[in-house]
Amino acid sequence: MFPQPLTVLIIDDNQEDRFTFKRYLSKQHDQDYQVLEASSGKEGLEILKTVQVDGVLLDFRLSDVDGIEFLKQLQHEFFYSNFAVIMLTGVGNEMVAVEAMKNGAQDYLIKDNLTPESLHKSLYLAVERVKLRRDLEQSEQRFRGTFEQAAVGIYHINLVGEFLRFNQKFSQITGYFSEELQEKTLEEIIFSEDLSTYQKQLKRLLNNQIKTFTLEQRLLGNNNSLVWINLTVSIINKKDSRPDYLMGIVEDIQERKQTEIQLKKANQQLKTIVEQLAKQNQERTLLSRVSQYLQACTNIEEAYKILADLIQPLFPDCSLGIYQLNEQQTTAHLVSYSGDNLNSKEDFRFSDCWALRQGKTHYNDITHHQLFCPHVETDLTTKATLCYPIIAQGKTLGILYVSATDRAKLTPETENLVKTISDYITLSLANLKLREDLKEQSVRDSLTGLFNRRYLYEFLKKEIAKAQRYETEIGIILLDIDHFKQINDNYSHGLGDVVLEEFGEFLRDNIRESDIACRYGGEEFILIFPHASLDNTYQRAEALRRKIKRLHFRYQQHHLNSVTVSVGVANYPQHGLTGEEVVHHADLALYAAKDQGRNRTIVYGEQ
């Protein structure tokens, strides 16, 4: 039975019948009814426009309209989907019953056969069906909203690969219009060289050997363009556990793959230069040493520091310095040097170097004293200098500077060797930069700049190992921006992106150096606090929640005065012995915070 009274409208032009039905309903002790009456279709329609009812008992033959026509009016007004309609008639007629059901009635009853129990049972079942249908419609609407607004491509295909449905993001990634995709199968748009790998994994999935699989492969996009994707495929089963359809999650990794290709090209160019230099006896040995050190470097700054000492043996009896330009390309700073007679300022302006100003090599010796660069500290010991700009992809990174106290040790012909070394440095630095970019892309969320979910679990695994060894605690905070979907719906996705970007920046600025902030997915963020007790984690979570409430966001003409967050807090080892377990419990606490009205912090176990 329903816990609350059911409101039922009886529409019948026979007062005696209305009284009978009302009396039948009043005899139900386990269900309360609030009964409304209407003696005509017109009166009943007016009541339905103003009063929310759960069910309608509708006489087939009304004085002003027959029951079927009234049902059609309800369909036109869109009321029937919110309540159950039971058609009542004095004489049974199968054709009328079928027509009533087709036009929205949940049941068809003959008045003479009615009992209080049969009327109540029919009403209960009809109202239950309508409520279930309404819940299903709402669930489908929520699913479709999530499906269409997902940041990744999603598709459903049947077991022969025909598309059942897909979201707009998937169409964007492939470059096909929806109508074009409907005429294709998935395997038709998988690049032929990648198809066999996909088919092998699919066979294992359909044979229940694996639950899901993930592949990096190429799709044949519109105009035969190749699109790199990260594809995760799962099987969706029916209630009887038989396969129903396949679901694919598609992430566009074209940019990352292009970076990898550039990295491979840079490595190939680097290898070619090494092979050319290897033909020269002394230079071959020295450049091999340079190569070994640079390839062992983990970042560009480390490479800069050792470059001068590595290269200096190629210029015997000379001093050598590596200068790096700032981002604005206004000043140069000495980042590494070798030799006792560099005779150049540690910092100088862009305009103080002829090589930088002209974008090409500048050689000078004592015979043209006035043509030394202004940054050169000329004295009796400086006899010759050479400045060579280091340029990568059209951008000047700095200069390679060589000075000599003997003109014979540094001649204009040295330029060829300097050019070779500079090109070598450029490719090495570009190689390191690409490697750094690729590593950064693999662990960072592109929109917020925070760490991604993959890095989260790697970091958490290491921290839990430390915590086990030293018997310390780890605090976990999971935050969800309240009503974020409404921000996108009511303002724009542009404002939504601004909120996520600035939210990420706020989290970075409000945690310790030993903590990390990650984008967990969508509008969810997670913070990891090593060496933090549960109480300390809760206090910090509350402080962050209050600060967040004071944030303001602006995008074009849109202005958002504040947002709130729901927060779940958990602790290792109190709430789990693995990262996945503690995060899961923080997630449960977060959902408890949302269920209790949002804009609050809940500790797992205290909800």
Q: Mind listing the pLDDT tens digit for each residue in 461-506?
A: 999 999 999 999 999 999 999 999 888 888 877 888 989 999 999 9
β strands within 358-444, DSSP E: 362-365, 384-392, 395-404
Structure token pair of residue 436: 């750094």
User: Among all chains, which residue has been given the structure tokens 């996009």?
Assistant: 221
Amino acid at 121: K
CATH number, domain 150-252, options 3.30.450.20, 3.30.465.10, 3.40.50.720, 3.20.20.140? 3.30.450.20
What does the alpha-carbon distance between residue 400 and residue 304 come to, in Å, rounded to a whole number?
Answer: 11
Q: Is 150 helix (H, G, I), strand (E, B) or coil?
A: coil
**pTM higher than 0.75, yes or no?**
no
What does the alpha-carbon distance between residue 481 and residue 598 come to, in Å, rounded to a whole number?
Answer: 9
Q: Mind listing the pLDDT tens digit for each residue in 175-185?
A: 898 888 889 99
What's the topology of domain 453-603? Answer: Alpha-Beta Plaits (3.30.70)
Question: Which architecture, in CATH terms, is 6-146?
Answer: 3-Layer(aba) Sandwich (3.40)
Asked if residues 306 and 297 have their Cβ atoms less than 8 Å apart, the reply is yes
Q: How many CB atoms lie within 10 A of CB 26?
A: 12
Asked if residues 432 and 299 have their Cβ atoms less than 8 Å apart, the reply is yes
From residue 182, alpha-carbon distances to 122, 145, 235, 248, 282 in Å are 43, 21, 20, 16, 65
Residues whose CB falls within 8 Å of the CB of residue 215, separated by 6 or more in sequence, listed in order: 194, 197, 198, 201, 230, 231, 233
Q: Where are the domains of the chain?
A: 6-146, 150-252, 259-440, 453-603
Residues of the chain with pLDDT under 50: 79, 279
Angle at 18 between CA 17 and CA 22, to 5 degrees: 115
Q: Mind listing the pLDDT tens digit for each residue in 178-216?
A: 888 889 999 999 999 999 999 999 999 999 899 999 999
Q: Do domains 150-252 and 259-440 have the same CATH topology?
A: yes
Asked if residues 414 and 402 have their Cβ atoms less than 8 Å apart, the reply is yes
Structure token pair of residue 547: 């600060």
pLDDT of residue 73: 84
pLDDT of residue 362: 92
Asked if residues 252 and 229 have their Cβ atoms less than 8 Å apart, the reply is yes
What does the alpha-carbon distance between residue 326 and residue 533 come to, in Å, rounded to a whole number?
Answer: 43
Question: Which architecture, in CATH terms, is 259-440?
Answer: 2-Layer Sandwich (3.30)
Long-range contacts formed by 548-551: CB under 8 A, 24+ apart: 548/479, 548/503, 548/506, 549/599, 551/502, 551/503, 551/506
Q: What is the DSSP letter of 211?
A: S
Q: Mind listing the pLDDT tens digit for each residue in 499-525?
A: 999 999 999 999 998 999 999 988 999
Sheet with 107-110, edge to edge strand ranges:
33-38, 6-11, 55-59, 84-89, 107-110
pLDDT of residue 434: 64
| Residues counted in the chain | 607
pLDDT of residue 81: 64
Structure token pair of residue 378: 């000329």
Q: What is the DSSP letter of 219?
A: E
pLDDT of residue 302: 79
Q: Mind listing the pLDDT tens digit for each residue in 9-60?
A: 999 988 988 898 888 888 776 778 888 999 998 898 888 888 888 889 989 8
Asked if residues 82 and 114 have their Cβ atoms less than 8 Å apart, the reply is no
| DSSP class per residue in 445-481 | -TTT-SB-HHHHHHHHHHHHHHHHHHT--EEEEEEEE
Instruction: Please state whether the peptide bond connecting residue 573 to the residue before it is cis, i.e. omega within 30 degrees of 0.
Output: yes
